[in-house]
Amino acid sequence: MTKLVKDLMHPGVMTCKPTATLGHVAVLLNQHKVHALFVTDRDGRIMGLITDFDLMAGEWLSSDSESLAAMRKLTAADLMSQPVDSVEANTPLAEAVDLFVEKKVSRFLVTDNQKPVGIISLSDFVASIAKDIKSKRDTVGDVMSDAILVCRGKTPIASAASAMTSAGWRSVLVVDVKGKILGVVSGHDLLRFAKEDANRDLVVRDVMHPALTIDIHASLREAADMMIQNHYHRLVVIDKDDPDAFPLGAISTFDIVAEMARPDSVWQKT
């Protein structure tokens, strides 16, 4: 069965008024965790599109007070791009891919009989590729997260805390200039610095604890046992044949639980 744009799109359209200040646009983008907003007139008709790139292209990042004052007067209508590229909901995904390549855009407004019903972006296609991956899910390498949060030993603890908050991770891996693992800084390591009289001028090397590593080919049972025995929520994944190389990824309790929750997991079959 041919997949259509409506099968992959995100329903609904996030909007802002043309009179919205750039500061308000930034608040809306951050609040809704999106990269773009459609600008609508008083009747709800879409006039244009404003993205996070549009904001970054402005001079508001400048320390020049004159430039900043000028930028603060601008509105969404001043920076929005138009006309808005759109695609019909019943368009086959293969045709939509060609449109993305042809127009060199990151997103399309999805319409149904010319009425806005959603949005489809490059991220939706990337997610669809990841969703189609079928793994055996027998070993650490099958379920680990390839992306990891890292920092150098000289990183201030406040910067590490900021990175953990932004990424939604409970720990950050500390490595040297060649990527060799030095340790881990977790929320527990940083907890004492939440006190008002705490010394926050330290760097992560001063507060980190040893990292627990596991081979990429180890079984999930081995990973679970190691976590339980050591009370660790996350293990660093390495290649045991080259243990000093940059880590391959990380596996957490969440990764294992997420696999247990999958509809095709043995834990969900009755």
pLDDT given for residue 260 in this prediction:
65
Question: Is residue 134, in this structure, part of any structural domain at all?
Answer: no
Helices (H), 132-196: 140-143, 157-167, 187-191
Please indicate, yes or no, whether residues 63 and 161 belong to a single structural domain of this protein.
no
Please indicate, yes or no, whether residues 107 and 11 belong to a single structural domain of this protein.
yes
Where b means 16+ CB within 10 Å and e means fewer, 211-238 reads bebbbbebebeebeebbeeeebebbbbb
CATH of the domain at 47: 3.10.580.10
Question: Is residue 268, in this structure, part of any structural domain at all?
Answer: no
Please indicate, yes or no, whether residues 114 and 145 belong to a single structural domain of this protein.
no
Question: Is residue 146, in this structure, part of any structural domain at all?
Answer: yes
Question: Is residue 171, in this structure, part of any structural domain at all?
Answer: yes
Please indicate, yes or no, whether residues 85 and 152 belong to a single structural domain of this protein.
no
Domain extent at residue 76: 5-129
pLDDT mean across residues, the chain: 86
* pLDDT, tens only, 208-253: 999 999 999 998 888 888 888 888 888 999 999 988 889 999 998 8
Report the domain count for the chain: 2
pLDDT given for residue 36 in this prediction:
92
Question: Is residue 270, in this structure, part of any structural domain at all?
Answer: no
Instruction: Work out the percent of the chain whose per-residue pLDDT is above 90.
Output: 44
Last residue in a domain, options 68, 102, 129: 129
For the four alpha carbons of 252, 253, 256 and 258, in that order, the dihedral sign comes to negative
Please indicate, yes or no, whether residues 118 and 36 belong to a single structural domain of this protein.
yes
At 264, the pLDDT band (50, 70, 90 cuts) reads low
* pLDDT, tens only, 196-210: 677 778 999 999 999
Exposed (0-12), middle (13-18) or buried (19+): which is 151, by Cβ within 10 Å?
buried
pLDDT given for residue 61 in this prediction:
55
- Can you tell me whether residue 86 is helix, strand or coil? strand
* pLDDT, tens only, 144-185: 888 889 999 999 998 999 988 888 888 899 999 988 999 999
Question: Is residue 266, in this structure, part of any structural domain at all?
Answer: no
At 16, the pLDDT band (50, 70, 90 cuts) reads very high
The answer to whether the CB of 153 falls within 8 A of the CB of 205 is yes
